[in-house]
Amino acid sequence: MIQHKSIVFVIDANSRAAVTASLESYGVGAAKIVETPEACIEALVLEQKSVLVLDLAVGSEQINQILSASRTHFKVETRPILILVAELTDSALATASEYNISQIHAGDVETDTVGVCIKQLVIELNTTGNIREVLVKVATARARGDWAIATPLLEKEQEKQPDDERLALELAENYIHERNWSGAEKLLEPYLATTPPMIRALNLKARCLMNEGQFDAAALIMGKAKLLNPHNVERLIEFGHILLSSDRIDDARQQFEEAGDLDSDNLDATRGVGQCMLMQGEVNEALDFLKSISGPRELASVFNSAAVMSIHNGHFEKGMTLYKKAFKVVGSDDKIAARLLFNMGLGYKKNDQLVKALDCFSRSADMDPEYDKASQHKHSTEKLMKNIKPQLATSKDEDIVHTPV
């Protein structure tokens, strides 16, 4: 019998003893007993192939934090997972759907009863080795940024096993990364048609719609996923950005704040709230809130995101005002100021204010001569201005603002 390792996070001592005894009886030894979410995450990172047994009594928020952290680290979750629940609720089923949980044990935990689930875990371990090995390779490729290598690996295995849910969803994610929206959506169709629909399929569908510019439809889909499982921090943050793209700033801020409540150390949630505050005109409040990421580069990034999204939503002057305020708070770092000026120039260029755009690109190139994008856009803007009538180039360009940086 193949010897496997396990990680066990179970609150009740008697239940934990029953689980470890059953694991040993089916050849899953070397159990790593953990007592905190942090210790569980650390163990998961160290042991990619270990069986995981989680007790939902730990708390839904903590379970989502653990499973999200593992998926984020490895890019793909490959291990068989068993969760223990007092009763089989919609929330438990949603968690199982989202994270591809192999087995759920409901009710009192005794060696014999939990052993039925653990037996199935061992069968899965011993019969799905090829799929898991492919997924490990996919995870390794993604971690290196080699998504193009992962796609043919998944396609080849998915042809052999077209009904395997994990392969289909991972391939859909790869297609999304490669901007193959139609390919991804075709793979997602059967998993969106289930009752209830699979949460991860909803998540991926929303991502397709967002990238296709269908922000309201994406928000609707993401809202359905949130109803099924409101504790996924990564999804709340993604939902917030979708809502921002629809100019629903108050709703977006709520998602970021909920994400921050679930994970107070999550910098993406903090950035999201700060971006919303800036877009709502609460600049001083945002600066105070963003103290935890108060480095000039981070602040410039949040200001830039807020400005870009404001312009995207049709609030051009608000976006330009945010850029001007950004110069006053990020200090005198020329490289940071050069990038702010460059992005400000893009905003002016898209708004046909070519003189102001050229001024921004020129100053950006002067501040950072190694910043090739600034020089390239400077030259392309100069050529564009030569090809149009002078009055068209200057009609919107009165009062050029030279903001000190």
Q: Which stretch of 93-102, 191-200, 220-229 has the lowest confidence by average pLDDT? A: 93-102
Mean of all residue pLDDT scores within the chain: 88
Question: What is the average per-residue pLDDT within 377-401?
Answer: 66
Confidence of residue 192 (pLDDT cuts 50, 70, 90): very high
Closest CA to 150 of 75, 73, 72: 75
**What was the pLDDT predicted at 397?**
41
* Contact in structure between 34 and 60 (CB atoms under 8 Å): no
Question: What is the average per-residue pLDDT within 316-329?
Answer: 92
The topology under which CATH files domain 4-127 is Rossmann fold (3.40.50)
**What was the pLDDT predicted at 159?**
93
User: Looking at the predicted structure, is the pLDDT value of residue 318 above 90?
Assistant: yes
Closest CA to 235 of 81, 99, 104, 58: 99
Which residues lie closer than 8 Å to 117 by C-beta, 6 or more apart? 82, 103, 104, 105
User: Looking at the predicted structure, is the pLDDT value of residue 25 above 50?
Assistant: yes
Domain limits of the chain? 4-127, 266-327, 332-405
**What was the pLDDT predicted at 404?**
31
Query: What does the alpha-carbon distance between residue 80 and residue 76 come to, in Å, rounded to a whole number?
Result: 12
* Contact in structure between 234 and 207 (CB atoms under 8 Å): no
Which residues lie closer than 8 Å to 186 by C-beta, 6 or more apart? none
Question: What is the average per-residue pLDDT within 226-237?
Answer: 92
Confidence of residue 390 (pLDDT cuts 50, 70, 90): low
- Say yes or no: domain 266-327 is CATH 1.25.40: yes
Question: What is the average per-residue pLDDT within 29-40?
Answer: 89
CA distances from 219 to 121, 232, 295, 327 (A): 36, 16, 32, 33
User: Looking at the predicted structure, is the pLDDT value of residue 389 above 90?
Assistant: no
**What was the pLDDT predicted at 286?**
93
Q: Render pLDDT for 39-92 as a digit per residue (tens, 0 to 9).
A: 999 998 888 778 899 999 998 888 888 988 877 766 676 788 999 999 888 878
Q: Which stretch of 19-28, 315-324, 367-376, 391-400 has the lowest confidence by average pLDDT? A: 391-400
**What was the pLDDT predicted at 399?**
38
Question: What is the average per-residue pLDDT within 11-37?
Answer: 90
Residues linked to residue 83 through DSSP beta bridges, in sequence order? 54, 104
**What was the pLDDT predicted at 330?**
79
**What was the pLDDT predicted at 294?**
65
Confidence of residue 388 (pLDDT cuts 50, 70, 90): confident
Query: What does the alpha-carbon distance between residue 17 and residue 305 come to, in Å, rounded to a whole number?
Result: 51
Please tell me if the domain spanning 4-127 has the same topology as the one spanning 266-327. no
**What was the pLDDT predicted at 295?**
81
**What was the pLDDT predicted at 396?**
44
Structure tokens at 188: 């997602």
Q: Render pLDDT for 277-293 as a digit per residue (tens, 0 to 9).
A: 999 999 999 999 998 77
**What was the pLDDT predicted at 369?**
92
Residue 196, preceding bond cis, omega within 30 degrees? yes
User: Looking at the predicted structure, is the pLDDT value of residue 129 above 90?
Assistant: no
Question: What is the average per-residue pLDDT within 159-185?
Answer: 93
User: Looking at the predicted structure, is the pLDDT value of residue 394 above 60?
Assistant: no
Question: What is the average per-residue pLDDT within 214-221?
Answer: 96
